[in-house]
């Protein structure tokens, strides 16, 4: 999913079977690029993938909070114990949202979408998985 509209369509379809008011925790697995890969023509200072993700994060956290969500845990990857030995994840984020509707409203916001350029430039690979939040 390279574009935000395609991601939004995919997210709606993926979350279709989840009750509208069910709280969710999103598991984010992040692998940073050594150097951020911004699209040509942008006015972005060169930086590492981690620094580009921090640019995204400073903007995104306001949108997460704006829909009632919160980062509940963030940690740096250390080692892969089960799985391909060559697979590595630099960081893990757990973000709680009060509902799938809150998450979809956030990713559908044009101002949020403008910040995604930093996330895309930052990441070599990522996973975003939705889980039922504990009661």
Predicted local distance difference test score (pLDDT) of residue 5: 76
Q: What is the domain extent for residue 77?
A: 4-132
**pLDDT exceeds cutoff 60 at 1:** no
> How do 91-97 and 70-76 pair as beta strands?
antiparallel
What average pLDDT does the segment 33-60 reach? 96
Predicted local distance difference test score (pLDDT) of residue 134: 79
CATH of the domain at 72: 3.30.70.100
pLDDT in tens, 73-132: 999 999 888 988 888 999 999 999 999 999 999 999 999 999 999 999 999 999 999 999
Predicted local distance difference test score (pLDDT) of residue 61: 98
Token pair of 10 as six digits: 């995919």
Phi/psi class of residue 83: alpha, beta or left (left: φ > 0; alpha: ψ in -120 to 50)? left
> How do 123-132 and 24-32 pair as beta strands?
antiparallel
pLDDT in tens, 7-45: 888 999 999 999 988 999 999 999 999 999 999 988 899
Distance of CA 124 to the CA centre of its chain: 13
**pLDDT exceeds cutoff 80 at 2:** no
What does the alpha-carbon distance between residue 66 and residue 61 come to, in Å, rounded to a whole number? 8
In the chain, how many domains are there? Answer: 1
Token pair of 21 as six digits: 């008011």
């Amino acid at each position: 999913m390279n574009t935000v509209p395609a991601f939004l369509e995919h997210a709606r379809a993926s979350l279709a079977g989840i009750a509208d008011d069910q709280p969710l925790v999103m598991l984010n697995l992040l692998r940073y690029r050594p150097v951020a890969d911004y699209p040509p023509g942008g006015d972005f200072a060169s930086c590492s993938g981690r620094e580009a993700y921090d640019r995204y994060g400073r903007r995104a956290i306001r949108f997460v909070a704006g829909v009632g969500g919160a980062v509940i845990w963030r940690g740096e990857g250390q080692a892969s114990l089960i799985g391909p030995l060559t697979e590595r994840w630099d960081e893990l984020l757990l973000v709680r949202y009060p509902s799938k509707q809150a998450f979809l409203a956030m990713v559908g916001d044009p101002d949020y979408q403008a910040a995604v350029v930093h996330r895309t430039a930052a990441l070599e690979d990522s996973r975003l998985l939705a889980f039922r939040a504990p009661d």
